[in-house]
Structures are given as C-alpha cells and as structure tokens.
Structure 1
Amino acid sequence: MKSNVSTTKVPLSEKVTFGFGNLAANLMITTANGFITYFYTDVVGLTIGVVGTILLFARIFDGVSDLVMGATVDRTSTADGKARPWIKRMILPYGLALILLFSSPSFLPENFKAIYAFATYVISLAGVYTMTMVPYNTLIGTTTSDSKERGYLSTSRTIFGFIGAFGVNGAVLKIVESFGEVTAASSWTKMATVFALVSVVLLTLLYRNSKERVLESSEALSADHAQKVSTQDNIKALFKNKYWIIMILSMLISFINSGLSGINIFYAQWILGDISKVAILGMLSFAPIIAGSFIVPFLMAKMFKRNVMLLGSFIMLLGLVILAVFPTNFTMICVGVIIRGLGTAPGAVAGFAMLGDIADYGEWKTGIRSDGLIFSAATFGEKVGSGLGGWLLGAIMSLGGYVAKASIQNESALFAIKAIFAYLPIIFAIITIILMFFYDLDKKLPQIVADIQNRAKGLNKT
C-alpha cells in the first residue's frame, strides 16, 4: 500500500496556479465583504438593520454548510482525488453565483427585496462558494505532506488572494460607474458578470494544473474505507483535535475583521469626507499583505509558525492603535492601514499552512485523516466570521442611528463608524494573541510526522 506521507516537491507552475483559486475566491468574498452592505442599503434600498440581520443569519447557515462539505470531501474517493472533482463540478456554477449575488430585479415588490437578498446570498455563499472553496483549501493538505511545500502553497494562495482583494477594492466602483450610475442595480450586476468570467478561467486553470499526492496510508484511511468512516466519527475525531479548535477560533476572529471591512466606504464618506478614498483605503489595506507574504516563508523557515502568527498580531495591533489615535488625519490613517496590512500577512500565510500540520496531528492522534473537515475551518471561519462582522457592522451602526442616503449623520453614528473601523478590531487582535499562546504543535510536529511515516512503513511491509 502506498504511503500517506509524500515528500514530492510541487512544481513551480502548480504552486503558481494554486493561488488562482484564492484569486477567484476574493473576486466573490472580498467584493461581498466590502460592498454588499452598500449595495443592499444605498442601491437596493434596504435598512441597515435588515442588512445586518440578513448577513448574520445567512452566514450562520453558511458556516454549517462548510462542515457538511468538509465531511463530504473526506468521503469522496475518485481517480482525481477527493478535492479536485468538486472544483471541476463547481466552475460554471461559481460564475453564475457571483452574478446572482449582486442582482436585484427591478420588478420585485419592495417587501420581497429583502427575501430575494437573503435567498441569493445563501445560494451564492452557503452553497456554491462553499462547494468550491472547501475542496480548494483541502488541496493544501492533499497536494503534499511536506510542511515547507505547504508553506509555499499557502504563500501562493495568500499572494494571489490579496492581489484579488487589492484589485477588487480599487476597481469595483470604477467598473460599476463604467456601466452606469453607482446607485443602479444593473451596473452592479454587470460588474459581477466581469468578475464571474474571470473566475471561471481561473478555476479552470487551477483544476487542470493540480494534483493530489497525499494518499491514504492505513486500513482505517484506505480509499476503500474512506466511504465507511461516518461523518459522526469524523466530527468526533475533529473535536478531539485541540489545535483545530484554536485555529478555527483564530480564523473566525480574522474573518470577523474582514466582515467589518465593509465600514471602509462609510468611513471614507462620513469621517474622511470623500467617498472616493475607499479605493485608497482598500488598496493600502491589501498591498502590504501582498508584499509581506513574500517574506513570511523565510520567517517560517526560521521560526515556529505560532511565533510568526504572534509577530503578525503585534504588528497589526500597532497599526490599529494608530488608526484609533488619528481618526481624521488621512496621512496617519494611511500609515496605520499599511502597518495593519503588514501585520495581517503572517497570519494569512502561516494559518493555512498550520491547518495541514493540524491534519497530521489529527491522523496521528485518532487514526482518521480529516483533511476536508479540518480545512473547512478556513471557509467556516471566513463566512461565519465575515457574517458576524457584517452583522456587527449593521447592529452598531443601527444603534448609532445611521440613516442610509441621509445628507448628514449624527455624532453617535459617526462614533459607531470609528468604533467599527478601529476600536473593535483592537479587541479582536488581543484575543488572537491570547489564543496563540495555547498553540504548541510546532515543536511536536517532527515526531508526529515520523510516527506517521513509521506506521506507513509497517503497513507497506505487510
């Protein structure tokens, strides 16, 4: 029987195209995080409270679908692997879902617009996005068992993802305006169509140039037995993995902050006095992450991944403090945003590489390798976190008395915008730092991998 542990190097071309998946992901998720609140309120005409509720309940439902999809991937066994077949199936639906997300038919009665928004949001994010991105994230664990190679794949994922996020923040409003009025729903739908076409091409290239090399190594993990391991057993094994719990909480917090990024357009409009500055805020948020992501692999070669995460969290905290102290000084806001972005890069790269290590730990501890469920932590955290972030954004602004399409906002509404932009993320950064002090897998990993290899050798001899 073939070993589960593969030290085969991943070709450079495959490392590059691996990042295309996250570029496609950000064409949907970053556009949703950054602009869906504005689209629903100032374009469709929903109240900020209704929008926050839609985002919260849709994303909680969405998070459950991530775990279900993770279990489904773990029970999939084909000649192409267990993750790649799902990516192939979802290429065209992914493009259609992106278009659906930013649509609001003009013939709909006013009282049906919120229902339509909720339904299309769930279909796009809880359905199609989940069925595409859970398998995609799983590829980090099934492409190779080499920890360094996983780090390179995660680096590619992060760089291309944030290139996408950078481009989205700089281009969305310009593309929308090129198709007509920024307050016209049809202009947003056409923008989404452009992103949909690009996503289809990216996912096609990802599928064609990927390969799953990590093969099952024991009778409990054999391809034939994969179908026999129940979802219940997989989930039980998952919750025996303390490091998975730490990472899912950490990722949840990270993506709550992503959900809060929808505040940028309001911050530019009401605090900085120029809505066009949202493009600068967005690009300055993501450009440092892209630059920092090139450095992180070198840091991971010298430091434990946990320490890389901690370093990033402290840098991020510094940037957030600058934003809190200088709320209306645009120069200092730019400095703070850049530092915050540099601090985001280590966690963005190391976090996904750590999930591959966590899969090794789970196999070592329980005898069940649950790559799909473990990597579903990423999309679970991404969507539930950003949903909670969107809900918090709506709830806090609603409590502050924000009024959509108003010519002026009261002081409490302006304070709410500042709190979402800087004060709340400071609290989340501190919580992340505390969580990381409980993560000590890095020093145990070499022995764990050696034990798995020895088990595989013993099986191969029989």
Structure 2
Amino acid sequence: MIAEKQQVQPSTVVQVERPGHKEMVNYGLGFFGVILTWTLVGTFLTYYYTDVAGISAGVVGTLMLVARLFDGVTDIGMGTLVDRTKSKHGKARPWLLWMGVPLGLATILLFSVPDIGTSGKIVYAYVTYILVILVYTAISIPFKTLLGLMTQEPQGRSILNIYTGIFTMLATLSIMILAQPVASAIGGKTGWTVVAAFSGVTIMVTSYLAFRSTKERVGQGSAALNKEIVPLKIGLKALFTNKYWLIMTLYCVITYTLNALVTGAGLYYTTYILGNAAYFSIASLLLFLPSMIGFFFAAKLTDKFGKRNIALIVSIIGIFGPIIKLIDLTSLPIFLTGTVVQGFGLVPTIMFLYAMINDTAEYGEWKFGFRTQGLVNSAASFGMKVGAGLGGALIGWLLAFGGYVGAAEEQTPAATSMIIVLNIYLPLGLAVLQAILMSMYKLDKLYPQILADLHKRKIK
C-alpha cells in the first residue's frame, strides 16, 4: 500500500489528452436521453402508479425499494462485465450501442399499465419496473465509466462533467416542467404513455450518437490493466478499502434519497398543500436555477478552487432551503424562495458527481496497483439506486401511513402531515448529512501527485 503524499512538486505535472468540444457535446447529448428516463421514472412513476394506474401507495413503496435493491446488486455485476468487455469499440462504448433500443422500449411499457385487475397490475408493475432498471443499469454504468475512460486530465474531466451536467439539467427540466402538463392535456393513461414514448425514442437516438462520436483513451497503455483481469473478490476488497470511494458512495445514497424526495414528493405538495398541481412545473424550474447560473462560472471556479470546495459551499447553502419553507408552509412565494435556495444542493450532483467518482478510480489504481473503472462506477451507482429506491419507498410508505387516497380532492390531516414531512423535514436532515460527507472528501489536493505517479508507472 502506498503512502499518501500531500505536496505536489511542479515537475510532477503530467500532460494528458483531453476530448474536443464536439466529442464532449455528443457525450453530454447521450446523457440527455439517459436522464430523461431516470427523471421520468424517479419523479412521476410513484404518482402514475397511485393516481393514474390505481395501485395503493403502500404497495408502490415496497415495489420501489425491492426493485431498486435488486437493481443495485446487479450494478456490481454490470461493472465487472464492463471491466471485462473486449471489443474493437472499447470497454464502455459498445454498451451504448447495444442497450439504447431496449431501454426505450422498456420505458414505454413501464407507463402502459393495463386494466387487468389489482393483482395483475401489481405483477405487471413489478415485471416492467425491474426490466427498466436492469436495462437502465446496462447503459448507465457504461456511460458513467466512459467519462473516466475519455480522459484522466483533471480539468478536462471536470469540463466533461459540466457538459454532462448541462444536458442532465436540460433533460431533467424538460421532464419535470412538461411531463405533467402534456400528460394531463392528452388525458388519462394515454397521456403518460405518450410522454414515455417521447423519452423512449430520444434515448434510442442519443445513445447511438454518443457511441458514434466518443473515444476511449485511458488504460490503453496500462501494464496492470493488460496483464490480467482483476478477480472480483480482489477488486471488491480494494474498493471497500478505498476511503474516498466509500465517501462518494455514501454521498450518492444520501443525495439520491434527497433528490427522490424533492422531486417525487413535490407534486403531492403543490397539489394538496399549495392547492395547485401546476405549481410543480414552476418549482421544478426554480430548483435548477442555481445550477443554470453556475454553468457560466463552473469551469473557471473549478480550476481555481477545485470541485470539492465548491461542492461543499453550495451544499451548506442548500441546507437553508427547507428552513425557509418552514416560515409558512402554505405560502407559494416562500415555498418557491426556499426551492431556489435548496437548489444549491443539486449543484454537486449535476456538475461534479461523476467526475469525483471517477477520480476515486485513479486513487484506487495508485493505492493498489490495478484499475477497476467499471466496478468503481457500478458500486457508486448502487448507492444512487439505493438512494432513489429508499426515497421512493419513503414516499409510498409514509403516504400509506398517513392514509393517503390517490386522486382524492382532499386528504386527511395525517396524510397532509406526511406530505410535509416528505418535502420539508426529511430533506433538511439529508441536506445536513450531504454537507458533512462532502467536508470529508479531500482527494482534490492529492490528485495531481496520483496522476504523476501513475504516469511514471506506465512509462517504466
């Protein structure tokens, strides 16, 4: 095991290849399609099941957690599969080509629950939801892994993540602002099937464009990578002794639980606390306002202050969002003001998360002598899936605990209290944990030395 060095000498700076603008745009465009599906499922599937398909909230909550936990386990297998993939297109890129069409079709099936009785609907929901998240895993992990394989240069990787963040935000806003109005305008189950079809076709097209226009550069000259395939047992042992990966994975659990609550429970809040479901689109736009502004300054600020320092500051700011909402729970202006402030907590997820996760792969290679980029991303993805599943489960379970009745004009005081807990109190606690974890991540200072040492090993 190699001792960590905190000081980096100027002579250790390594020049590595960075993707061009066109390549970064096409990679980000591919992520646009992936995030359309992720956002549609994460934001509206619970509402679709309870208020459109007519499945009880308690059943939906259990489905969300069971399916996500199962999916999280398969993430590890997918990461290992990516690390062992050998093709003329590389390790990660071919999966973008293979999985785009299956994900598009599965998304359409997900939002097409037929009228086949209560038991039939539940079985259909389990089968199609598990299918979607399995196929999603088979494309999302290669996408995240590809980011780390396109360049090792820290600023280049940060800029690539910013490109990804721009398209992530555009995809998220497109779904969160337009999905509910479009589905309502068309009406009933058909409206949601049409929205899902739009997302499905989009992922088919954008995944192909990303496959065609990107290039894997990292690892081609690594002796450790070319000697032999790292056994899963050894790879997992190294992974769970990689402290920065552990921090980022736990951060993913907390962050995606928080995101699931803010987005998935938001429509219930605007409908039953603020009195108008249409407010959800406005709140969704304002939630991303800090990120939209941040994109204009992200590259320069990252170069000057580092990813971690910026992420920590905005995470602390985001804590005050739920606190502001507590001033008056039924005031739309106060709710929207709190939403803007709360949006600062999304900045690290949109702009830096995938770059920081991939940085932990370099740390692992430097520390243990071998590289498992796919395993690193799949295990971190497990944290995202667990967080999203936990957030969705909490929505279903707490609504059921409060006696929530889908599509009712009014809810019981207990159900209303649970909606407030899901939107205010739980997000507040999670935002505090988010900031604490980011304060523990200190890899940015060490990264230049890590990159220099890895470069020396390759040229020996």
Pairwise TM-score range, normalised by the shorter structure: over 0.9
Match of 2:354 among 348, 352, 355: 352
The aligned counterpart of 1:134 is 141
Residue 452 of structure 2 is aligned to residue 445 of structure 1? no
Q: Could you state the TM-score of these two structures normalised by the residue count of structure 1? A: 0.93
Does structure 2 conserve the Cα–Cα contact (< 8 Å) formed by 1:253 and 1:432? yes
**Aligned partners of 1:14 and 1:412: how far apart in 2?**
52
Does structure 2 conserve the Cα–Cα contact (< 8 Å) formed by 1:221 and 1:367? no
Match of 1:38 among 41, 47, 52: 47
Alignment of 1:89-104 (within 5 A): 89-104=98-113
Work out the number of aligned pairs and report it.
446
Letter in 1 for 2:441: Y
Residues 202-211 or 334-343, more deviating: 334-343
Letter in 1 for 2:286: L
Residues 345-354 or 267-276, more deviating: 345-354
Match of 2:166 among 159, 171, 176: 159
Does structure 1 conserve the Cα–Cα contact (< 8 Å) formed by 2:169 and 2:350? no
Does structure 2 conserve the Cα–Cα contact (< 8 Å) formed by 1:70 and 1:134? yes
Does structure 2 conserve the Cα–Cα contact (< 8 Å) formed by 1:6 and 1:213? no
Letter in 1 for 2:331: N
Residue 122 of structure 2 is aligned to residue 114 of structure 1? yes
Q: 1:330 Cα deviation (Å)?
A: 0.6
Structure 1, unaligned stretches of length 5 or more?
none
Q: Helix, strand or coil for the counterpart of 1:274?
A: coil
Alignment of 1:318-337 (within 5 A): 318-337=320-339
Match of 2:224 among 220, 226, 235: 220
Does structure 2 conserve the Cα–Cα contact (< 8 Å) formed by 1:293 and 1:345? no
Residues 61-70 or 319-328, more deviating: 319-328
**Aligned partners of 2:292 and 2:105: how far apart in 1?**
28
The aligned counterpart of 2:214 is 210
Residue 178 of structure 2 is aligned to residue 171 of structure 1? yes
The aligned counterpart of 2:18 is 9
**Aligned partners of 1:6 and 1:21: how far apart in 2?**
27
Q: 1:247 Cα deviation (Å)?
A: 0.1
Q: Helix, strand or coil for the counterpart of 2:296?
A: helix
Q: Deviations over 1:28-79 (max 9, x none)?
A: 1111111111110111111111100000100011111111111111111222
**Aligned partners of 1:348 and 1:162: how far apart in 2?**
7
Change (3 A) 1:83 1:457: same
**Aligned partners of 2:324 and 2:373: how far apart in 1?**
39
The aligned counterpart of 2:313 is 311
Q: Deviations over 1:342-383 (max 9, x none)?
A: 332134312221122111100011112111111224432332
The aligned counterpart of 2:56 is 47
Q: 1:234 Cα deviation (Å)?
A: 1.6
Does structure 2 conserve the Cα–Cα contact (< 8 Å) formed by 1:6 and 1:144? no
Q: 1:271 Cα deviation (Å)?
A: 0.4
The aligned counterpart of 2:241 is 240
The aligned counterpart of 1:23 is 32
Q: Deviations over 1:160-219 (max 9, x none)?
A: 01111101011112322343x2xx223211221122112211111111111001124443
**Aligned partners of 2:254 and 2:103: how far apart in 1?**
26
Letter in 1 for 2:243: K
Q: 1:296 Cα deviation (Å)?
A: 2.5
The aligned counterpart of 2:4 is none
Change (3 A) 1:453 1:38: same
Alignment of 1:274-423 (within 5 A): 274-423=276-425
Structure 1 residue ranges, 4+ long, deviating more than 6 angstroms after superposition: none
**Aligned partners of 2:158 and 2:45: how far apart in 1?**
32
Letter in 2 for 1:264: G
Q: Could you state the TM-score of these two structures normalised by the residue count of structure 2? A: 0.93
The aligned counterpart of 1:196 is 200
Change (3 A) 1:55 1:332: same
Structure 2, unaligned stretches of length 5 or more?
1-13
Residues 340-349 or 268-277, more deviating: 340-349
Q: Helix, strand or coil for the counterpart of 1:326?
A: coil
Change (3 A) 1:309 1:434: same
Q: Percent identity?
A: 39
**Aligned partners of 1:315 and 1:192: how far apart in 2?**
34
The aligned counterpart of 2:6 is none
Q: Deviations over 1:377-429 (max 9, x none)?
A: 44323322111000011112222222223232122211211111121111111
**Aligned partners of 1:295 and 1:327: how far apart in 2?**
33
Q: Helix, strand or coil for the counterpart of 2:404?
A: coil
Q: 1:6 Cα deviation (Å)?
A: 7.1
Q: 1:22 Cα deviation (Å)?
A: 2.1
Q: Helix, strand or coil for the counterpart of 1:407?
A: coil
Letter in 2 for 1:140: L
Does structure 2 conserve the Cα–Cα contact (< 8 Å) formed by 1:81 and 1:212? yes
**Aligned partners of 2:83 and 2:296: how far apart in 1?**
31
Residues 147-156 or 430-439, more deviating: 430-439
Residues 109-118 or 280-289, more deviating: 280-289
Change (3 A) 1:6 1:24: farther
Letter in 2 for 1:152: I
Residues 247-256 or 18-27, more deviating: 18-27
**Aligned partners of 2:91 and 2:322: how far apart in 1?**
40
Does structure 2 conserve the Cα–Cα contact (< 8 Å) formed by 1:166 and 1:287? no
Q: Helix, strand or coil for the counterpart of 1:444?
A: helix
Q: Helix, strand or coil for the counterpart of 1:294?
A: coil
Does structure 2 conserve the Cα–Cα contact (< 8 Å) formed by 1:239 and 1:245? yes
**Aligned partners of 2:31 and 2:328: how far apart in 1?**
33
**Aligned partners of 1:449 and 1:309: how far apart in 2?**
22
Does structure 1 conserve the Cα–Cα contact (< 8 Å) formed by 2:398 and 2:418? yes
**Aligned partners of 2:37 and 2:123: how far apart in 1?**
20
Q: Helix, strand or coil for the counterpart of 1:211?
A: coil
Letter in 2 for 1:362: G
Residues 287-296 or 357-366, more deviating: 287-296
Does structure 1 conserve the Cα–Cα contact (< 8 Å) formed by 2:258 and 2:431? no
**Aligned partners of 1:11 and 1:129: how far apart in 2?**
27
Does structure 1 conserve the Cα–Cα contact (< 8 Å) formed by 2:223 and 2:458? no
